[in-house]
Amino acid sequence: MVSDLSRDVIVVGAGLAGVALARRLFQAHIPCVALERRDVFSNDGFAVNLPGNAIAALNQMGLREPVSQMGRPTRRREYRDHRDRLVFEIDEDAFWGAEHRPRCVKRSDLLAALQQGLPADLFQMSRSVTDIRQTEAAVVAMLESGEAVTGRLLVGADGVHSRTRAHAFPGAQTRSAVLSRASWRFIAPDPGVDGWTVWAGPRSLFLLIPVGDGEVYGWASVSGGASADQKTDATLLGAEISAVFEGFPKRVRDTLDYLTSNPGSVHWSPLEEVRLDAWANDRVVLIGDAAHATAPVWAQGVALALEDANALGDLLGANTDWRFAARRFESLRRDRVRHVQSMTDKMSNAARLPAFVRNLLMPVVGPRRYHETYGPLRG
C-alpha cells in the first residue's frame, strides 16, 4: 500500500546526520520525512567533539546561541607520550578564532538543539526500510510494515552500517580502520585535564576532552583490538586495555579504574571506515558516515555530516530540477571529503609507527599535519 508519509525527500536515519538534514530541509520549506528503524533516538558514543568547521556548520543552521551554551569550549590540544611528556601542543583558539572555537558537547544535547523548532511528525520512529525502488519520476522506500513511502529523492543518513547503502549500492562494504580495529568511547569524571589531551603508547591511544559539569568525554583504542563479535563489559574492558595502559600517567589510570567499575559508561564499537567510488545512484544519495566514515583522528565524522546536510539542503533549495541533484551533491563534496580521508590515513599511519620513532617525528610533523588538515576546512 502507499503510505501517507510521502514527501519530496525521504531521509533514512535519524541520527545526527539525518536530523541535521531534516532541519535544513525544513528551513528551506522542502517537505521531508525521516524514517528511523529504532524506536528512540540513539545516544551511541555519549558525546561529540566538534572542531571549528563543525561549529561553522551549526552556525549556518541557526544554532550559534544554543551550541554556545552546551558542553565546554576546547581552547588547546596537548599530544603526550605514555609517560606524560608533552610532545607538542596546539592553540586552537588562535587557529579557529572565537567565532568557530571547537567544543565538546553531549550527543543528546546536540541532537536536541538540531530538533529545536521541528514538527514532531517529521520523524517517524520504528520505520525500517527493507527495499528501495526507483522509477524515472520517483523513488520508493518499502517498509517492514508493508507501507511504501514515495519521494523525489531518498537520502541515506543511516550511518556506517547503512542499509540504504546495501540496497542502492550492492557490493559496497566497510573496512577496518588503519588506526585500530576497535575503540571504546566513554563519559567519566574529569581527572584534571585542561583541554583536548591524548596519550600515545607503543600500541594504544587514550584521549580525554572536558565536556563540562566535572566530566570528560574519552576515546581509547588498542592496536589489534577486539573483534567485531565481542561485547563491551567490565571483563572485556579490563582484559583488552587495562594491561596495555599500565605505566600510563595517573589521569589515565584513574579513568580506567572508573570505567572498569562502571561499564555502563562505556560504548565499544569496531572502528570501520567507508570509502566509496560513488555516493549517488539516480534518486538515491548517501551522506555522513553512510558515505564516508573515517577513523576519528581529526574528529570529522559529525563535522562532515553537518556540512553534508548544509550542502544538500542548499542545493535542493536552489534547484527545482532534482533529476541530477544526487550527482551534483557528490561533485560538490567529494574533494573536501577526499582531503579528510587522505589526512586521516597519514595521521593513522604515523600513530602506528614505533613509539620512539613517532616521538622523534611528531614535534615537527604533528603541528604541520594539524595545519595541513584543518587549514582547508576553515573556508
Q: Tell me which residue has cell 591511544.
A: 205
Query: How many CA atoms are closer than 13 Å to the CA of 368, on its beta-carbon side?
Result: 7
Query: Looking at this protein, which amino acid is placed at residue 180?
Result: S
pLDDT, one tens digit per residue, over 211-221 is: 999 999 999 98
Please give the chain's pLDDT, 379 residues, in tens: 444 456 899 999 999 999 999 999 999 999 999 999 999 887 776 999 999 999 999 999 999 999 999 999 999 999 999 999 999 999 999 999 999 999 999 999 999 999 999 998 999 999 999 999 999 889 999 999 999 999 999 999 999 999 999 999 988 888 888 888 778 899 999 999 999 999 999 888 999 999 999 999 999 988 754 444 444 444 445 555 677 888 899 999 999 999 888 888 888 888 899 999 999 999 999 999 999 999 999 999 999 999 999 999 999 999 767 888 999 999 999 999 999 999 999 998 888 888 889 989 999 999 999 999 999 999 7
Q: How far apart are CA 91 and CA 295, in angstroms?
A: 23
pLDDT tens digits for range 79-95: 999 999 999 999 999 99
| Residue 329, helix vs strand vs coil | helix
Which stretches within the chain are classed as H helix?
Answer: 16-27, 52-60, 64-68, 92-96, 107-115, 163-168, 234-237, 250-261, 289-292, 301-318, 325-351, 355-374
